[in-house]
Amino acid sequence: MGVSFLTRGRRPDAPTVMAHRGGAALGPENSVGTLRAAAEAGAHSVEVDLVQTADDQLVLLHDHVVVADDQQHWVRDLTADDVAAHLGHQPGTHLELLDACAALGLGVYAEVKAAGPDCLDRLVADVVERDMVGSVCVASFQSDVVAHVARQGVLDTSWLFWDPAYDPLAVALDTGCTFVHPCFDLSPELLDVMDGRWMERLWAAGRGVVSWNTVDPALMLRMAEVGLTAICTDDPRVVPAGLAAPHGGD
């Protein structure tokens, strides 16, 4: 087990480039149609959000709710067709995501916003069926989602978190996840805290660290210095020349 676009257990030689929300600056976010633009812009992988619907589909959508007629509707209570009716377009599915990324040579960082065990099991099975185990990492803010997938021992997993007071290694050990993903977007100065022991103890335990989303080239350079394994960005075009690993990862 081990995805080719993410390094763990050591400082990466260079970070790879992860297109946030599929490359939100390049086209409609979380859209299968934007993936080609992300690949052409130099992304090694795409971060895409998945939410379970009432008819047990995993659709490409950032939020747990959709808003229609000034009312919020939980996606879990809607069928995929209901979601499409509220959005005005049909959201992509995890199968379309996997097939498109396989064709484009992109890794998949699947951030699961909400899904039950059966849906997660089907996601893992569909990845295995497509022989994409080395190309997919399942991520979530929900530790139960991360732990459920990690227990299967098939796919790499990643835990996202906001609070800098968390001990990421303790949670990684408790959930079994292979990567941690701090979302310190509003506090980039925390890179100085992460530099050194914060990162080294994760590497020593066989883990890796994914960056939060940024379009700031100077911040990307600092992230690379600290040793983050992937630079997550809405716009892969702004990654400084020579910063990232060659396409295909490390």
pLDDT tier at 249 (50, 70, 90 boundaries)? very low
pLDDT tier at 131 (50, 70, 90 boundaries)? very high
Task: Yes or no: say if 16 and 44 are a contact pair by the CB < 8 Å rule.
Answer: yes
Instruction: Summarize the confidence of residues 172-181 as an average pLDDT.
Output: 98
Task: Yes or no: say if 134 and 107 are a contact pair by the CB < 8 Å rule.
Answer: no
Which stretches of 41-197 are assigned E, i.e. beta strand? 45-52, 58-60, 65-68, 71-74, 107-114, 136-140, 156-161, 179-182
Q: Give the tokens for residue 11.
A: 């400082």
Instruction: List the domain boundaries for the chain.
Output: 16-238
pLDDT tier at 247 (50, 70, 90 boundaries)? low
**Rounded-to-5 percentages of helix, strand, coil across the chain:** 35, 25, 40
pLDDT over 80 at 25, yes or no: yes
pLDDT at residue 250 in the model: 41
Please tell me the least confidently modeled range out of 116-130, 165-179, 233-247.
233-247
Backbone Cα Rg of the chain = 17
- Report which secondary-structure segment, H or E, holds 125: helix 117-129
CATH class of 16-238: alpha beta
**pTM summary value:** 0.95
Which stretches of the chain are assigned E, i.e. beta strand? 16-20, 45-52, 58-60, 65-68, 71-74, 107-114, 136-140, 156-161, 179-182, 208-213, 230-233
